[in-house]
Amino acid sequence: MSVPPVAKVGRLWFLLFTLAWLAIWTVQLTPVQLLLPTQLDTPGEAGTWVYGVVSSGIVLGIGGLAGIVAAPLSGALSDRTRSRWGRRRPWAVGASWLTALCLVLTGFAQGAWPIGLAWTGVSIGVAVASAAFTALIADQLPESQRGAAAASASSSQAIGIVVGVGAVVLLGLSVLAGYLVLAVFIAVVGTLAAVLLPDPRPDAAQQPVRERRGLPWESLRNRDFAWVVWGRFVTNVGNALPTTLFLFFLMYGLGQPKAQAEDNLLLIIVVYTIFVVLASVLAGGWSDRTGARRRLTVVSALVQAAAAVVILVSPSLVTTMIAAALLGVGYGAFSTVGLAFATDLLPHPDDHARDLGLVNTAAALGQLVGPLVGALLVALVGGFWLLLVFSVVLSAIGGIMSGFARDRRNAPSPKPDPALR
């Protein structure tokens, strides 16, 4: 059985790792927040704005279903990969270029189905790249640095939204130009990060990979790991319900003109980003020092739930700003500490990419399925109140589910898998 490394990494490693995640989140969430809703905001046969919301939700949901397969499967394959370029690097580089190509195709596509097909390719590329880069946390970091690495990935998510949406809005880019800029960004930054981050060659590995391996989702049989993964999925759905439909909420929930709504969307995202980054850094550092990841995971999900309550009580631009701050605090802490918590609970030492692929998939799928669920809820009642109620409920349930997982220091030693003897 492989022995996890104990040597700490330096600042350069964290810088490259953060840049990789900045690129991943920027190219995934900028279309989700702005470009895809703009492309799909076309009245259908019924001639209502609800059609655009539903189309956007369906496109994102289909992409999410593709990601749930791609991440753990590619992770399992990268665990087996033995090349002179390393295990993770070939997958990270290939996924970056696949994402870039499909972003270009999405920009040129017209109509819900062509856009959805091209976006599915983007989702697959992002899922594969995420699995490869996340595996580096378990491959190369001691437990005392995993919270900091998780904070880098989580805070990059919020910063990526600001970078992407800010570039499109402030520079006045068209939808196509926005996609082309994103394609260049992920191709260049993703490739450079993958090439410059260390990735030991097979002959430097401590132990050979076992011949017999289970299916990509085998690790969900582990009780504690499964609770963390499923809790992460449910909480991310609760987060995505309001955040991915903010533009539609501003236009049709608060009645703002499109240009004003786009400007206010950027302002909301900035508020959200500030609090995500602060919460990610503080929560990640605190969990590294104390090791008490479970408690903070639960509390942060409940804080996220409170955000939707604020809008429900008094829907306005001001309360939406307050809710964005609460969402930032709750989600920033949850995504950071939850990822570190999951890394601590990995069941199989030689299957880091496969198992962390499940963790990433749970988060990404929640962010992509959320708009689909939200769109259906909006269509059902012709408004956003039911969507907000579901956000409260799912955020709370996801936090409680994560709380059912036991901290590793309190959990019994896992029994060996007879199939792997």
Residue 69 located in a structural domain: yes
Give the residue ranges of the chain where pLDDT is below 70.
1-7, 41-58, 60-61, 64, 201-218, 349-353, 357, 368, 408-421
- Report yes or no on 206 lying in a domain: no
Q: What percent of the chain has pLDDT over 90?
A: 25
Going from the C-alpha of 400 to that of each of 102, 295, 306, 359, the distances in angstroms are 37, 10, 14, 17
CA distance 149 to 280: 10
Which CATH number does the domain housing residue 362 bear?
1.20.1250.20
Does residue 416 lie in a domain region? no
Between the alpha carbon of residue 201 and those of residues 16, 81, 177, 326, the distances in Å are 19, 10, 39, 44
- Report the C-alpha gap between 3 and 52 in whole angstroms: 51
pLDDT at 45: 45
Instruction: Identify the pLDDT of residue 3.
Output: 44
Measure the CA–CA gap between 83 and 246, rounded to whole angstroms: 44
Q: Is the pTM of this model over 0.85?
A: no
Handedness of CA 203, 204, 207, 208 (dihedral sign): negative
Q: How many domains does the chain have?
A: 1
Residue 1 lies in a domain: no
The DSSP 8-state label assigned to residue 251 in this structure reads I
Query: Is residue 4 a part of any domain in this protein?
Result: no
- Kindly state whether residue 209 falls inside one of the protein's structural domains: no
Can you give the residue range of the structural domain that contains 318?
12-201+217-410
- d(C-alpha 260, C-alpha 60), whole Å: 25
Between the alpha carbon of residue 105 and those of residues 171, 175, 220, 420, the distances in Å are: 22, 12, 35, 43
- Residue 212 domain flag: no
CA distances from 335 to 141, 254, 259, 280, 383 (A): 18, 29, 32, 8, 29
Residue 5: its pLDDT value, please? 47
Please give the Cα distance from 213 to 163 (Å, whole number): 40
**Residue 138 within any structural domain of the chain:** yes
pLDDT for 61 equals 66
